[in-house]
Amino acid sequence: MIELETPPKRTPPAPPASLEHRRLRDGAFWHALPHYAGIDEATFLDHHWQARNSVKTPEELFETISAVVDDAFIADARQGFEHAPMAVRVSPYLLASIDWSQPYTDPIRRQFIPLLSTARADHPRLTLDSLHEQEDSPVPGLIHRYADKALFLPLQTCPVYCRFCTRSYAIGPDTAGVDKLELGKTPDSWAPVFAYVAAHPEIEDIVISGGDAYQLAPKNITLIGEALLAIPHVRRMRFATKGLAVMPMKILTDQPWVDALVGVVDHGRAMGKEVVLHTHFNHPNEISAITERAMDVLFKRGVYVRNQTVLMRGVNDDAATMLLLVKRLEYINIHPYYVYMHDLVSGVEDLRTSVQTALDIEKAVRGATAGYNTPTFICDAPGGGGKRDVHSFEWYDRDTGVSVWTAPSVKPGKYFLYFDPLNTLTPTMQTRWSVPELQDRMIADALAHAGGTVAALA
Ligand code: SF4
């Protein structure tokens, strides 16, 4: 009897849409913005040119985009800046990545250029330093909250200023509404930080943030890296920069900066210590063929890169966009590490989402790619509870928008509250939040359901 061979099972070819993450914007895309129509590739890729031509005042911005937006948009943005907690700084790369045919809805515009017309009232329980970082700062420029980890803020400037910055209390120049807190920002002022870390043997892990490590001169990347590597108990370091998302060409044209970073990474590896880069992409449109080339340089030189995204309304708060971002990041060798709930930052309520949105998107993303490349969705518990998995709330009232969190390994016995944005609640509930006594009652009720009390609030 002849046995018939079962033909191998074939899966149908992947539909083209599933490969969308590989389609990266290429060519001279910046020519679409008339202000940059005469800029050749060598100039556009020059990081000095990008830094010099980043818009640093609203008027510079309006001049750059005047050919592609109308007067109503400019008036709207001018008033938006008057009320914004952050100063303006946007790179030509970002301005050229915005679809100016849709200026009101473009996800990159929403992150960097405020509009009065879309502004929403702050939640009444929102504060400027929502994470209470200054309470955990033993010396200026250092936050020591988790036993084995510290956050070093060596400078207060960034290559761009994001509307939603958690550290709007300190980052960038003063604005009409906010006098920025002064942090240490010169090599002399860093000495107490190194001394504190050296005197605390429990600290194994340092995040060097700010501000942004892109703004550190190469000699200071080396100075900071070597000073921390020389402390025996420091085992891990992360240089944090948004630069890859907003000015990727620096990796291609700033050889001294890349060499300084690689020097610290290589020295750390030789010592058995890990030094990596942490970056911050929020939307797939921030990734272009220039980013891919920059990542090729870092990957081939042995620099591991992780990404931290902020979940924002109208930017990445739908499953398809978040999935495309995750797939595009992993495609260019960036590890999609975290997606944060938007912190309770003043002046950007139009960008915040509810906890429920994070739960829904996490459910849609999980399983769509490898587990190690699936980001963990977290809420940085306001009041200093640290990062909590969004599923780990003790209680969540979707009607009042109050969620209650605990952090047993950070602040045992304490309770932390996160508030969904008012404008995602029903009109009745929004009215309740306008009455202070009712606010207190809604909070007390939520705490009671979670097994806590107002007295145990952090
Ligand atoms: S790059 Fe980071 S630190 Fe700088 S403004 Fe943006 S979010 Fe804040």
Across 280-330, the runs of DSSP E, i.e. the strands, are 305-310
pLDDT band at 183 (very low <50, low <70, confident <90, very high): low
pLDDT at 16: 79
Supply angle C-alpha 198, 202, 205, rounded to 5: 80
- pLDDT computed for residue 27 by the predictor: 97
The DSSP code for 154 is: -
The CATH class for the domain spanning 133-390 reads alpha beta
Report which ligand 1 atom has the smallest distance to the Cα of 211: 3
How high is the pLDDT of residue 383? Answer: 86
In sequence order, the 6+-apart residues with CB closer than 8 A to the CB of 284 are: 21, 321, 324, 325, 328
> What is the best residue among 89, 133, 151, 242 to mutate for testing ligand 1's pocket, by most ligand atoms within 8 Å of CB?
242
Placement of tokens 């860093």 in the chain: 190
Residue 400, classed as helix, strand or coil, is coil
pLDDT for res 172: 73
* Mean pLDDT over the full length of the chain: 93
- Percent of the chain past pLDDT 90, that is, above it, reads 82
Q: Is any atom of ligand 1 closer than 6 Å to the C-beta of 414? A: no
Task: Verify whether ligand 1 is closer than 6 Å to residue 343 (CB atom).
Answer: no
Mean pLDDT in residue range 186-215: 93
Span 319-326, average pLDDT? 98
Give the pLDDT score at 104.
98
Residue 306, SS3?
strand
Q: What is the pLDDT of residues 252-282, one digit of tens each?
A: 999 999 999 999 999 999 999 999 999 999 9
Given pLDDT bands bounded at 50, 70 and 90, which one contains residue 420? very high
- Rounded Cα gap, residues 200 and 147, in angstroms: 9
By the 8 A CB rule, do 150 and 198 touch?
no
Specify the pLDDT at position 187.
84
pLDDT band at residue 15 using 50, 70 and 90 as cut-offs: confident
Classify 239 as helix, strand or coil: strand
pLDDT at 401: 98
Residue 365 identity:
V
Region 366-392 average pLDDT: 95
What distance in Å separates the CA atoms of residue 325 and residue 336, rounded to the nearest whole number? 9
Pocket probe for ligand 1: among 88, 158, 164, the residue whose CB has the most ligand atoms within 8 Å is 158
182, pLDDT greater than 70: no
* Stretch 136-165: mean pLDDT: 91
Note whether 97 and 288 are within 8 A (CB): yes
Closest atom, ligand 1, to C-alpha of 167: 8
Using the predicted structure, report yes or no on whether residue 185 has a pLDDT greater than 80.
no
Closest C-alpha residue for ligand 1 atom 6? 162
Domain ranges of the chain: 28-118, 133-390
What is the phi/psi pair of residue 444, to 5°? -60, -40
Q: 341-355 as b/e, with b when 16 or more CB fall inside 10 Å?
A: bbbbbbbbbbbbbbb
For the ranges 175-189, 191-205, 419-433, which has the lowest average pLDDT? 175-189
pLDDT reading at 376 higher than 70: yes
Q: What is the pLDDT of residue 181?
A: 60
The amino acid occupying position 329 is: L
Contact status, residue 142 vs residue 135, Cβ threshold 8 Å? no
Q: Which atom of ligand 1 is nearest to the CA of 240?
A: 2
pTM for this entry: 0.94
Name which residue sits closest to atom 3 of ligand 1, judged by CA.
211
Whether 348 is in the pocket of ligand 1, judged by its Cβ within 6 Å, is no
pLDDT of residue 136: 83
Question: Which DSSP state fits 90?
Answer: B
Ligand 1, atom 7: closest residue by C-alpha: 165
Q: Which pLDDT score, from 0 to 100, does residue 135 have?
A: 79
